[in-house]
Amino acid sequence: MLLCIICSPLAAQQYPVKVQVQTLQPVPAQISNLYNGSQARMIITLLNTDLQEATMNVRLRLNIKGTTVALRNRDYGSYPLVRLDAGIPVQLSLNDLAPYFNLDNMEISGIPPSQLQQTGKLPDGFYTFCVDVLDANSGRLVSNDKLSCSPPAWISTSEPPLLNLPRKGEAVAFREPLNIVFNWTPRHMGSPNAAFLTEYEFTLVELWDTTILPEAAFGTMPPLYQTYTSATTLLYGPAEPPLLPGKRYGWRIRAIAKQGVDEFDIFTNHGYSEIYYFNLQDDCQPPQQVAATVANGEATVTWLPQPKMFEYLVEYREQDNDKATWFNVKSSDPQAVIRDAVPGHKYEYRVGGSCSLGSKTLGELHSFEMPAKDAVDSGSCGLLSDIKLANDTALKTLQPDDQIMAGDFPVRFMTLKNNGGSYSGTGYITIPFLGYNRVKVKFDNIQVNTNRQLMKGMLVTTFDSTKLQGTSVDSVVQAIGSLASVINDLIHLTLDADYVKVKEMAEAIKKAAEEELPEELKTRMNQAADNLVNAKDEYDAAKKELADAKTPEEKAAAEQKVKDAEKKFDDAKEEVKAVNKEKEKLVNDVAGIIVKAIKELKEDAKGWDKSADLSTQQAAMRQAVYDKQGLEETTDASIGFAIGDIQQVTLSDAEISDEMKQFDEVVEQFHLTSANVKAYRLVSAIQKFYDTPAAIAQFLSQDKALKGTSMLKALMTDKMQGKTDKELIKVVKQSILDQLIIILNSDQLTK
């Protein structure tokens, strides 16, 4: 008896009621979805295992435990009694559980009760649903609270779809029969909510009032057309209500999660997307039979005339690069010439135009490729060509981003000021024989004819020895893509910008760092770019917390998080600029070394200048080809002496005569002398162009012929590793010599 008395407190406590809590995945965020509808999302099973107490009256206590939120039934609430007969399981679901999910019967922590009352949704996170069973008479716990919980469930609220086509504010061409493709992208497919069957409600409204914002006008009009679909694309065709050309229409999508006949509110904004709108143009179809012909470093695009269009437009950009900038060429004729396409690159283009002022219609995408090895004829470089323009009618509608021709060179405007028939501003000119580099120009009071040719005035290249030219040229950022230009965009970037914009900026910084910076600086720059994105994430989360804050303490905490995110963002921007300053200092340090190296290379190359011997070698070639063969020279003297390609033929020693050997020596000496002269002239041109450190800092990174970006990156790396100036000069000279050999052997030099 004594042993029994001692051991009895050690016996495990027995609970007469067993509880099983089951949630059907996915668990919706809307609390009411757990006890409403035709299919149960939560099932509680109770079993009275105490055979000595045949009948037991109990009530439940629900506990919802989340990552940051907790809900618990009050002890003194209005709950129905549940009768449990021994050995007979009782299953509760739907309306049986409604009183326990009534928020008036809940103690709520971790979230303002008013917020939960308003939205009825649990915040995103992991949740467990636990049920305690209490004796109705004594209030005694009769179930094991450690064995009465559901498995953890992830609850999340998904974003509504993103609208794609037609684009916001786009002008859509009217066609007969009408076929307009509407397309959107779901944003819930990566969450458990994808398990629900999602249906999309498509609503189209005609916007009569064009004087107010389309988003505001959308709610004032009844739907013109409304339908439901499970696809993410809808074709609006002749079977739907007709649309009128010249009218504006708005549309939006509502995502609805369903399971059988039940609907679940799992989306923010009740599943409603942003409102998009488009203008249905008058019958203004894009030009047909579009084709591009590539020849002589230019792409000529042609199409059939479209009588309703008063101006044509060709838009083009690099292919397979969604971030590439669209450039355009305008024309009043059914053809246009693209002159600044870079050899070896693929381009996509589309042809359209305007049938009325302020609107444009564009056709389908086409593509062309510029051959990589087209010989670039430098023409009479250094001489002014005698250009006679037959058209002297001035064009009066120039705009920024327009392109004109100044002689043989395409000029793209960036800023433009109309002086009443003449124009002033800035732009850049593309020079094919300088590796298709773009050089900034300015102009004052120029005139352009209706063929978009410069007919009066002058374009002047700009040069500022105190700074890089690319840093202030906003419109050439995509064309040049230098780190300096990316940072210029970063200066204007704020935390309130779209997440996509911040992400794109970070990727642009990383891309430029990969191309331009040595490893140590690249690592720091990449970290700063990542911090920009992280700060944006933290800022958006903090702003949401601030908007949801109800108490002064919550508001103060959220405001501090906003300030911390802003500081992190500003610090990241400052780090990017600091790294760029270090890079600029390194560039300035190595720029002087490069100038010295080029000067030394020119001194070394003085022995190559055999210009005087070249005429002697030409005379020897003439004598070997004509005089010794008994031939007469019929070439017009005014054209000059020209030697065609002379191909060597392999013969045995016995077959080679003394005359052949002498002729071979003459040819070899001529080619050697000619190559030396070309090499010396190239080195002289390089030395004349890169005569100051400022010129190196400004232009070398854009020099494709000398692979300037790679050269600068290698030199900066060597400089940071402690190599001496003498060693760096040797590296520069060898790098330039390697590129000269490639240029001389590439058949890209004219006589």
Strands 233-236 and 180-187: antiparallel
Q: State yes or no: pLDDT of 608 exceeds 70.
A: no
User: Are 359 and 283 a contacting pair, CB within 8 Å?
Assistant: no
How far is 164 from 185, CA to CA, in rounded Å? 7
Place of tokens 């940072």: 487
Tell me, what's the pLDDT at 542?
85
Q: Which residue has the higher pLDDT, 486 or 520?
A: 520
Among the residue ranges 76-80, 532-536, 650-654, the one predicted with the least confidence is: 650-654
Spell out a b/e string for 396-426, using b for 16 or more CB atoms within 10 Å of the CB, else e.
Answer: eebeeebbbbbeebbbbbbebeeeeebbebb
pLDDT mean over 525-543: 86
- Which of 231 and 38 is assigned the larger pLDDT? 231
Terminal Cα distance for the chain, rounded: 121
Flag whether pLDDT at 235 surpasses 90: yes
Among 72-81, 671-680, 742-751, top mean pLDDT goes to 72-81
So what's the pLDDT on residue 378?
A: 44
Q: Read off the pLDDT band of 676 (50, 70, 90).
A: confident
**Which residue in 433, 405, 422 sits closest to 338, CA to CA?**
405
| Residue 435 in this model has a pLDDT that exceeds 60 | no
Prediction pTM value: 0.43
- Helix (H) / strand (E) containing 508: helix 499-516
Split at pLDDT 50, 70, 90, the class of 489 is: low
**Once rounded to an integer, what is the mean pLDDT over residues 732-751?**
68
- Measured between alpha carbons, how far is residue 48 from residues 15, 21, 51, 89 in Å? 9, 15, 8, 7
339-377: pLDDT as tens digits: 888 888 899 999 998 877 667 788 888 999 988 754 444
Residue 486 DSSP label: H
Q: Which of 132-136, 319-323, 325-329 has the lowest mean pLDDT?
A: 319-323
Judged against a pLDDT cut of 80, whether residue 741 lies above it is answered with no
What pLDDT is stored for residue 374 in this prediction?
A: 44
The conformational region for residue 383 under phi > 0 = left, psi -120 to 50 = alpha, else beta, is: beta
Residue 12: the pLDDT is: 55
* Average pLDDT score, the chain: 80
Percent helix, strand, coil in the chain (nearest 5)? 35, 30, 35
Rounded to 5 degrees, what angle do the CA atoms 253, 255, 257 make? 165
Residue 63: beta bridge partners?
A: 72, 130
pLDDT, greater one: 251 or 610 = 251
Q: Which of 140-144, 378-382, 395-399 has the lowest mean pLDDT?
A: 378-382
Look at residue 173 and tell me whether its pLDDT is greater than 60: yes
How many C-beta atoms lie closer than 10 Å to residue 177's C-beta?
Answer: 8
pLDDT at 638 over 60: no
Angle value at C-alpha 419, between 417 and 420, nearest 5 degrees: 130
Name the one residue in this structure whose structure tokens are 């003085």. 606
- Contact indicator for 62, 73 with CB cutoff of 8 Å: yes
Say what the pLDDT of residue 397 is: 76
Evaluate if residue 393 carries a pLDDT over 70.
yes
- As a whole number of angstroms, the distance between CA 28 and CA 20 comes to 20
Question: For position 467, what pLDDT does the model report?
Answer: 39
Band (pLDDT 50/70/90 cuts) for residue 739 is confident
pLDDT-derived band at 640 (thresholds 50, 70, 90) equals very low
- List, in sequence order, every residue forming a beta bridge with 439; answer none if it has no partner: 429
Instruction: Give the model confidence (pLDDT) of 281-303 as tens digits.
Output: 777 788 999 999 998 878 999 99
Query: For the residues 23-36, what does the mean pLDDT come to?
Result: 90
Residue 394 DSSP class:
B
Omega cis (within 30) before 242: no
Residue 15 and residue 143 in contact, taking contact as beta carbons nearer than 8 Å: yes
Q: What percent of the chain lies above the pLDDT cut of 90?
A: 26
Classified as helix, coil or strand, 359 is coil
Please list, in sequence order, all residues whose beta carbon lies within 8 angstroms of the beta carbon of residue 205, skipping any fewer than 6 positions away.
Answer: 218, 221, 222, 223, 224, 249, 250, 251
> DSSP label at 606?
G
Can you give the three-state secondary structure of 181-228, one letter per residue? EEEEEEECCCCHHHHCEEEEEEEEEECCCCCCCHHHHHCCCCCCEEEE
